[in-house]
């Protein structure tokens, strides 16, 4: 008897889910169009990322070449700030 009750509940739940799901499902051509648009957007974002990364890397290389001491100070400050952040975060998690 329990198996039949479980089956009936499952059927009822599935029918409720089917009724509540949106009826407008995209067609194949709409999905293909959406995939193409997404790929174009991702390509554009990737190009922008590469340009920004190249500018950033060029700046770092120029900084190292012209002022190595300033670069070392920035690296040390970043390391200290990172360790400090981890310590504070760990203390906040334990409280």
**pLDDT (tens digit per residue) in 3-21:** 788 888 888 888 887 777 6
Q: 59 is written with which tokens?
A: 């700046």
- At 78-89, the pLDDT tens digits run 999 999 999 999
Pick from 36, 29, 23, 11: nearest CA to 3: 11
What is the reported pTM? 0.52
CB of 69 closer than 8 Å to CB of 62: no
DSSP letters, 52-82, are: HHHHHHHHHHHHHHH-HHHHHHHHHHHHHHH
% of the chain surpassing 90 pLDDT: 49
Segment 47-60 mean pLDDT: 95
């Amino acid at each position: 008897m329990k198996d039949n009750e479980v089956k009936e509940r499952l059927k009822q739940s599935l029918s409720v889910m089917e009724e509540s799901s949106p009826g407008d499902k995209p067609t194949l051509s709409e999905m293909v169009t959406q995939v193409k648009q997404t790929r174009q957007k991702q390509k554009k974002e990737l190009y922008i990322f590469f340009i920004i990364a190249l500018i950033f890397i060029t700046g770092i290389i120029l900084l190292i070449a012209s002022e190595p001491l300033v670069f070392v100070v920035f690296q040390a400050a970043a390391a200290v700030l990172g360790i400090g952040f981890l310590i504070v975060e760990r203390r906040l998690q334990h409280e």
